[in-house]
Amino acid sequence: MTDSDTDTELRVSKIENGTVIDHIPGGQALNVLAILDIDGSGGEEVSVGMNVPSNRLGRKDVVKVEDRELSGAEVDVLSLIAPHATINIVRDYAVSEKLRVSRPERVVGVLSCPNANCISTAGEPVDSTFDVLDDGVRCGYCDTIVREDIAALIDPA
The parts of the chain modelled with pLDDT lower than 50 are: 1-6
Q: Are residue 71 and residue 121 in the same domain, yes or no? A: no
Q: Are residue 128 and residue 149 in the same domain, yes or no? A: yes
Among 153, 150, 111, 132, residue whose Cα is nearest residue 28 = 150
C-alpha to C-alpha distances, 86 to 82, 89, 96, 123, 146, nearest whole angstrom: 9, 10, 13, 36, 24
Q: How many domains does the chain have?
A: 2
145: domain CATH number is 2.30.30.20
Q: Are residue 40 and residue 81 in the same domain, yes or no? A: yes
Query: In terms of pTM, does the model score above 0.75?
Result: yes
Q: Is 141 annotated as a binding residue?
A: no
Q: Is 113 annotated as a binding residue?
A: yes
Q: Are residue 114 and residue 71 in the same domain, yes or no? A: no
Q: Are residue 75 and residue 19 in the same domain, yes or no? A: yes
Q: Are residue 37 and residue 79 in the same domain, yes or no? A: yes
Q: Is 118 annotated as a binding residue?
A: yes
Range of the domain at 25: 3-100
Question: Each residue of 99-112: b (16+ CB within 10 Å) or e?
Answer: eebeebeebeebbb
Q: Are residue 95 and residue 129 in the same domain, yes or no? A: no
Q: Are residue 39 and residue 114 in the same domain, yes or no? A: no
Q: What is the pLDDT of residues 39-79, one digit of tens each?
A: 777 778 899 999 888 887 788 999 999 999 888 878 888 88
Bridge partners of residue 61, in order along the sequence: 24
Q: Is 77 annotated as a binding residue?
A: no
pLDDT of residue 10: 54
